[in-house]
Structure 1
Amino acid sequence: MPEGDTVWQTARRLHTALAGRPLVRSDLRVPRFATADLTGRTVLEVIPRGKHLLARIEGGLTLHSHLGMEGAWKVYAPGERWRGGPAHQIRAVLGTAERTAIGYRLPVLELLRTREEERAVGHLGPDLLGPDWDPVAALRNLLADPARPVGEALLDQRNLAGVGNIFKSETCFLVRATPWLPVGELPSPERLVTAAKRLLEANRNRPGGSRRLSVYGRKGLPCTRCGALIRKGDQDDRPVYWCPVCQSGPTS
């Protein structure tokens, strides 16, 4: 599932392509909204909210989408071939005279009133890359269940929004704790919030796939800090990576 930095980049790309221009093409290929026509309306802005995307459109409407595991938004110039996948995977087409945005394999796509956005994203904790970021509230959320493993607490978007499986492993590495350590046993737990924020901030302007990772995806390779071989495990059916020397705590 995309991390918050990827969603932030996607929102910026869509905003640059669509904002301030009227739509000349609109096609929502989901049954509930198949008859909705946004043609003629101006896209006001596209913003991220955690791992969610909100395209605000003239007339008090918002197109809410989530990338899930395999979703993507691609932007094309006039006449450019659409290469994001076969036509049956297209869920949304939003086109201006200059650019066309295509949403592929979107598990969540809904049109709602802008005033009702909280119905879709109101459950989220403070957004690590958003204007609502509140480290005190994020820490309070994380510590609400002190017995919960650090890795699980970080992935719960109700605690803080934006951390995915990659930055879960990377954040745990930075605070020198395994993902299975109960969050209440972590010394100076505020370091979790600081580390997660630093990671997403550092990567949000990097092109996709160019992240500098210390442990994730590096099973069997030497730790960048101590040289021990990185290990790979499983937490809630997701891969997790850690250094057996630098990180303290349970390993399952």
Structure 2
Amino acid sequence: MPEGDAVWRTAQRLHEGLAGDRLAGSDIRVPAHATADLSGRRTLEVVPRGKHLLHRVEGDLTVHSHLRMEGSWRVHPVGRRHALGHRHTVRALLWSTRRVAVGDSLGMLDLVLTSQEHRVVGHLGPDLLDPGYDAQVALANVRADPHRTITEACLDQRNVAGMGTIFTAEPLFLLGINPWTPVGGLDPGQVEELLSTARRLLVLSCRQGRTTITGRGDVADDDAWVHGRVGLPCKRCGVPIRLAPIGQQPQQRVMFSCPGCQGGRAPTDDGAPQTPLGHARRRYT
């Protein structure tokens, strides 16, 4: 699913497109709010909170959404509203006299009182992209369970908000940490550096306008050390990048890592040859 930087960029698009404008109409296509009418309410701001979006309008009301795996918000000239609204996957339309925001395939959508946003985002840990990010609280949260893998602890949004598999895999590689290392196997300084590295990379991606690890504009198609590079040689040591499951269902994920730079293969890696993504005819062992 989109990570903190992508959600931040989405919030920026919505804010720039609608903030300050009075809504001329709305169409919320979820049963609980199908009769809601936001027309006449001015958009105050659209802000991210971890991987959640909070579209605040006048009257103590917030349109809360989560993109999950396939969701998106796009802003278009209002003249395209009718054509765009015919898509069966559209879950929300919010429009002013100038622009329309289209929420497509949203994983979560509801209306909450702005004064009660804690009901939908109060469980989240410190947001890495929040100017008021509390590094010490995030550190304490991640270190709370010493038996959990560092990957699972970082991906748990209740500990720290905004990290997904990209912004977990890449900092772990940069610091030479095996993703399956128990939290208790790392000293506090290592965990603190991991979180600060993830924050730095997220901020860089927000500034660049796309998800980036190196910040170089000439490597957009391969701008990562390990994520998405299964079966391809490590850019540092040449050992093929591996992919293996981590965690327990239903929170199980897959994680990319370099056995050469990060202390060997994962305990869940069966060692079978892995095909690079998009390279069906090539195999690396």
- Distance in structure 2 (CA, Å) of the matches to 1:89 and 1:3: 21
Match of 1:25 in 2: 25
- Distance in structure 2 (CA, Å) of the matches to 1:127 and 1:8: 11
Instruction: After superposition, give the CA deviation of every residue in 1:136-158 in whole Å (9 maximum; x if it has no partner).
Output: 11110011001110110110001
Check whether the contact 2:178–2:262 (CA below 8 A) recurs between aligned residues.
yes
Residues 18, 38 of structure 1: alpha-carbon distance in 2 compared, 3 angstrom cutoff:
same
TM-score normalised by structure 2 residue count: 0.83
Task: Report deviation, 1:190.
Answer: 1.3
Task: Report deviation, 1:35.
Answer: 0.7
Match of 1:193 in 2: 195
Counterpart residue identity of residue 216, structure 1: H
- Distance in structure 2 (CA, Å) of the matches to 1:223 and 1:244: 9
Instruction: After superposition, give the CA deviation of every residue in 1:71-91 in whole Å (9 maximum; x if it has no partner).
Output: 110111133478879621111
Aligned length: 252
Match of 2:260 in 1: 245
Check whether the contact 1:181–1:250 (CA below 8 A) recurs between aligned residues.
no
Match of 1:213 in 2: 224
Instruction: After superposition, give the CA deviation of every residue in 1:47-81 in whole Å (9 maximum; x if it has no partner).
Output: 00000000110011111000011111011113347
Residues 54, 81 of structure 1: alpha-carbon distance in 2 compared, 3 angstrom cutoff:
closer
Task: Report deviation, 1:229.
Answer: 1.7
Residues 225, 82 of structure 1: alpha-carbon distance in 2 compared, 3 angstrom cutoff:
farther
Structure 2 unaligned blocks of 5 or more:
214-222, 268-285
Check whether the contact 2:50–2:128 (CA below 8 A) recurs between aligned residues.
yes
Match of 2:107 in 1: 107
CA-based RMSD of the aligned residues comes to 1.9
Check whether the contact 2:5–2:211 (CA below 8 A) recurs between aligned residues.
no
Counterpart residue identity of residue 199, structure 2: K
Larger relative contact order, structure 1 or 2 (CA cutoff 8 Å, min sep 6): 1
Task: Report deviation, 1:208.
Answer: 4.0
TM-score normalised by structure 1 residue count: 0.94
Match of 1:45 in 2: 45
Check whether the contact 1:180–1:250 (CA below 8 A) recurs between aligned residues.
no
Larger Rg: 2
- Distance in structure 1 (CA, Å) of the matches to 2:264 and 2:52: 32
- Distance in structure 2 (CA, Å) of the matches to 1:191 and 1:85: 45
Structure 2 counterparts to residues 128-143 of structure 1, below 5 A: 128-143=128-143
Asked if residue 91 in structure 1 is aligned to residue 91 in structure 2, the reply is yes
Q: 1:233 aligns with which of 244, 256, 259?
A: 244
Match of 2:156 in 1: 156
Structure 1 unaligned blocks of 5 or more:
none
Check whether the contact 2:63–2:112 (CA below 8 A) recurs between aligned residues.
yes
Aligned to 2:173, the other structure's residue is in SS state helix
Residues 175, 83 of structure 1: alpha-carbon distance in 2 compared, 3 angstrom cutoff:
farther
- Could you tell which deviates more after superposition, 41-50 or 66-75? 66-75
Sequence identity of aligned pairs in percent? 52
Residues 119, 152 of structure 1: alpha-carbon distance in 2 compared, 3 angstrom cutoff:
same
Match of 2:218 in 1: none
